[in-house]
Amino acid sequence: MRLHRLDRPRTIPPAALFSEIGMIPPGATALLAWRARDPGATSQALDAAIRDGKLVEVRSLRAGTMVVPRPLTAAAVRGASKSVIAKLRGPLAALGVDEDDLTHMKQVALQALNEGEASYADLRETLPRGSVKEFAIEARPKVNGLHSNLSAALASLEEEAAVVRSRGSGDAVFKLWKHELPDVNADLVPPEIARRELARHYLRAAGPATVNDFANWLGITPREASLAIEALGDEVAQIQVEKISETCFLLAESLSGLKSARPTGGIALLPYRDPLFALGPALLSALTPPALHKVVFADVGSAPLIVADGQPLGRWHWEPEHGVVMDPFKGSLPPKFRAPAEALAAQLTQFVRGQVGDPGRHYWPDKTAKPGRSEKPKVEAKPKKTTAKREARRPAKATARKAKKK
User: What local confidence, expressed as pLDDT, does residue 51 receive?
Assistant: 84
Any domain includes 396: no
In terms of domains, do 328 and 238 share one? no
Q: Is residue 350 part of a domain?
A: yes
Q: Output the pLDDT for position 386.
A: 46
Q: Is residue 29 domain-resident?
A: no
34 in a structural domain: no
Question: Phi/psi zone of residue 3: left (φ > 0), alpha (ψ -120 to 50 degrees), beta?
Answer: alpha
* Whether residue 244 is found in the same domain as residue 326: no
What's the pTM? Answer: 0.77
Which of these three, 210, 234, 255, is where a domain ends? 255
DSSP readout, 55-88? EEEEEEETTEEEEEEGGGHHHHHH-SSS-HHHHT
Residues 286 and 306 reside in one and the same domain? yes
Q: Are residues 128 and 163 in the same domain?
A: yes
Residue 370 falls within a domain, yes or no?
Answer: no
Query: With 0-12 CB in 10 A as exposed, 13-18 as middle and 19+ as buried, what is 392?
Result: exposed
**CA–CA gap between residue 76 and residue 78 (Å, rounded):** 6
Residue 389: per-residue pLDDT: 45
One pLDDT digit (tens) per residue for the chain, 406 residues: 555 667 677 889 999 998 888 788 888 889 999 999 999 999 999 989 988 889 988 876 665 678 889 988 888 888 875 566 777 888 899 999 999 999 999 999 999 999 999 999 999 988 888 889 999 988 888 887 888 999 999 988 988 889 988 765 557 889 999 998 998 888 888 889 999 999 998 888 887 889 998 888 888 889 999 999 999 999 999 988 887 888 989 899 887 766 655 666 678 999 988 887 765 667 666 766 666 666 666 554 578 989 888 788 889 999 999 999 999 988 899 999 999 999 999 999 999 999 988 888 778 876 444 443 333 333 334 444 444 444 444 444 444 444 444 4
Q: What's the number of domains the chain is made of?
A: 3
Q: Indicate if 178 and 195 belong to the same structural domain.
A: no
Residue 260: per-residue pLDDT: 59
Structural domain boundaries enclosing 199: 191-255
| Same domain, residue pair 109 and 159 | yes
For residues 205 and 295, membership in a common domain is answered with no
* Residue 357 domain-assigned (yes or no): yes
Residue 147, domain member (yes or no): yes
Residues 92 and 212 both lie in one domain: no
